[in-house]
Amino acid sequence: MATQREGEASQETTTTPPASLSELVQERYRKIKEHAETWRKLRKTEDRVRALQERLRKLVENEEAANSGTSVRKAPTSDDKVPK
């Protein structure tokens, strides 16, 4: 996080300050637009992660249910075995 701030600080120092009000407004608009795009990407990523977590949770539940179903069955007793 510190390196990101350092990068932003160095980027701000390398750009020339806006000379007029319109340049200032345009620069501010560009930054807001970039922020909005980044936010949208983050939300999409979060939505994908939530969907994958839900799928994984369902798979684990199904696997546990299948495992518990097979472990409930007992091994055949001597009464169940057919004599040869």
DSSP string, 14-82: HSPPPSSHHHHHHHHHHHHHHHHHHHHHHHHHHHHHHHHHHHHHHHHHHHHHHHHHHHHSPPP-TTTSP
Report the C-alpha gap between 41 and 31 in whole angstroms: 15
Query: Average pLDDT, stretch 61-76?
Result: 76
Owning domain of residue 59: 20-68
In a domain, 33, yes or no: yes
Would you say residue 46 lies in a domain? yes
Lowest mean pLDDT among 35-44, 45-54, 64-73: 64-73
Q: Name every residue whose Cβ is closer than 8 Å to that of residue 2 and which is 6 or more positions away in sequence.
A: none
Cα dihedral 62, 67, 72, 74 sign: positive
For residue 10, being part of any structural domain is answered with no
Instruction: Assess if residue 41 is contained within a domain.
Output: yes
Q: What pLDDT band is residue 22 in, cutting at 50, 70 and 90?
A: very high
Task: Evaluate whether residue 8 is within a structural domain.
Answer: no
User: Is residue 7 assigned to a domain?
Assistant: no
Q: Does the structure show a pLDDT above 90 at 58?
A: yes
